[in-house]
Amino acid sequence: MTRRETRGVTGPEAFKVFGHPLRMRLYRALHLSRTGTASQLAYQVGETVSLVSYHLRKLADHGLIDEAEGQGDGRERWWKLASEYPAPRAEDLGDTPENAAPQAALGALSFAQRADLYLGYVGTRLTWQADWRAASFSHEYLALLTAAQLAELSREMHDLVRKYESAGRAAEEAGDTEGRERVALHIYGFPFRL
């Protein structure tokens, strides 16, 4: 599989479009399945096909997803991510007061959905096999770093996760799915003051 480059979400309107709860869930579902139809995605997120179709078109209008050509029998439109991750960045909007609200809303929504995903695991932890319970983790590290060190740490962690992500995708494409589960890694690095 060829790795697609990250295009990034740009402009306040694109941040608002991606910052819709259902659109973010659809984007995550497409990231996991790589391609999908409105019907398949509606089933995954528990919404109607017509509602999902509408939100998929909104994502496509802003370049976040594209049609996946050569899929299916032509009766339904297939979708794929336009880039590997949208990677919303504050610098794409600029540090102006009118751009603060879309940035904050997207960050809060993203964090809330990640928290829901983790709390779902916590609530069902005992239903997982012992090896998965032992392998899962939740850590908090509090370090004294410079901005340059935090940026370097981010790059190193990104590269490490990508290594495992790529290995998992390659194994899946080779048909090696035995014992594999989807795994969420939520990593934050930010300054704070006491």
Average pLDDT over residues 99-109: 81
The answer on pLDDT for 4 being more than 50 is no
- Please say whether the beta carbons of 37 and 73 come within 8 A: no
Which amino acid, 179? G
For residues 160 and 155, what is the distance between their CA atoms, to the nearest angstrom?
9
- Please say whether the beta carbons of 72 and 78 come within 8 A: yes
- Sign of the CA dihedral with 152 first, then 153, 159, and 162 last: negative
- Sign of the CA dihedral with 175 first, then 131, 34, and 156 last: negative
Eight-state DSSP code of residue 50: H
DSSP 9-39: --HHHHHHHHTSHHHHHHHHHHHHHSEEEHH
- Please say whether the beta carbons of 66 and 82 come within 8 A: yes
pLDDT value for 96? 74
- Name the one residue in this structure whose structure tokens are 């908090």: 140
For residues 187 and 50, what is the distance between their CA atoms, to the nearest angstrom?
34
pLDDT value for 8? 56
pLDDT of 11-22, one tens digit each?
667 777 878 899
pLDDT of 21-60, one tens digit each?
999 999 989 988 889 999 999 999 999 999 999 999 999 9
Average pLDDT over residues 72-98: 73
Lowest mean pLDDT among 49-58, 66-75, 174-183: 66-75
What are the b/e assignments for 53-91, b being 16+ CB within 10 Å? bebbebbeebbbbeebeeeeeeeeebbbbbbeebebeee
Which amino acid, 45? V
The answer on pLDDT for 87 being more than 70 is no
Average pLDDT over residues 83-107: 70
Lowest mean pLDDT among 75-79, 89-93, 144-148: 89-93
The answer on pLDDT for 194 being more than 90 is no
Average pLDDT over residues 83-89: 63
What backbone torsions phi and psi does residue 129 show, to the nearest 5 degrees?
-65, 155
Which amino acid, 94? G
pLDDT value for 3? 40
pLDDT of 117-158, one tens digit each?
999 999 999 999 999 999 999 999 999 999 999 999 999 999
Select from 123, 141, 121, 140 the least CA-distant residue to 132.
121
